Amino acid sequence: MTIRLVLADDHVLVRQGLRKLLESAGFVVAGEAADGREAVHLVRSENPDVAIMDIGMPQFNGLNAALELARSHPQVRLVVLTQHDEPQYVAEALRCGVKGYVLKSQAARDLVRAIEGVSRGEVYLSPGVASAVAEACASPRRGVDGLSMRERQVLQLIAEGNSTKDIAVHLNISAKTVESHRSKLMRKLDIHDTAGLVRYAIRRGVTQP
């Protein structure tokens, strides 16, 4: 049975390289996306077996996309392909429903194995993140638990430096609703200024510094 894939990365050259690698391995690439929001739409339309996503995409990152897809399309296996080997990124990815975590530096060796593994129902982690997984499991820190999907989206956009008006346009909601989400974020996270939200988002892998 041929495995059908979708790719999401904000760099077109990366997507082109991945497509060539994966098609040469016998997979079918059903489509490409430049950010997490496009990836979600693509999965809904193409219903692939596996979705491969970068973490660090603007506006709607790979972890937000993974969380939404894990809820709406649990049959689609999720693999992240990233440069990040820090514990907070690995732990947050696993919490968001990711089944494969592959470092870009090891993609040529690990990505095909990851796709085949998750397609069989396994979890695949690049050997380079083994110590990060151990640290994440031993740590008492929690991820972005307790936040709704919309609150995660607002948190990422705040951390990326978007104004209330910009966030409202991105998410097609009112500025008043954005401010309401900001207030809820601060209350839930016990953080009382924007700088604190930014630091939290970076620390938890919601966005990159």
Reduced to 3 states (helix: H, G, I; strand: E, B; else coil), residue 175 is helix
pLDDT in tens, 40-83: 999 999 999 999 999 888 878 888 899 889 989 999 999 999 98
Tokens standing for 111? 């990505």
Residues of the chain with pLDDT under 70: 130-145, 208-209
Which is it for the CA torsion 90, 118, 152, 163, positive or negative?
Answer: positive
Q: Judging by DSSP bridges, how do beta strands 77-82 and 100-103 pair with one another?
A: parallel
**Which residues does residue 53 pair with via DSSP β-bridges, in sequence order?**
8, 80
Which is it for the CA torsion 32, 112, 92, 127, positive or negative?
Answer: negative
CB atoms inside a 10 Å sphere around CB 147: 20
Q: Is 43 exposed, middle or buried (0-12, 13-18, 19+ CB in 10 A)?
A: buried
Q: Which domains can be identified in the chain, with CATH numbers?
A: 4-138 (3.40.50.2300), 149-203 (1.10.10.10)
Q: Which long-range contacts (CB under 8 A, 24 or more apart) does 109-113 make?
A: 111/18, 111/21, 111/22, 111/52, 111/79, 111/81, 112/21, 112/22, 112/25
Could you tell me the strand order of the sheet in which 77-82 lies? 28-33, 4-8, 50-53, 77-82, 100-103, 124-125
Q: Tell me 160's DSSP state.
A: T
Question: To 5 degrees, how large is the angle CA 16–CA 3–CA 63?
Answer: 65
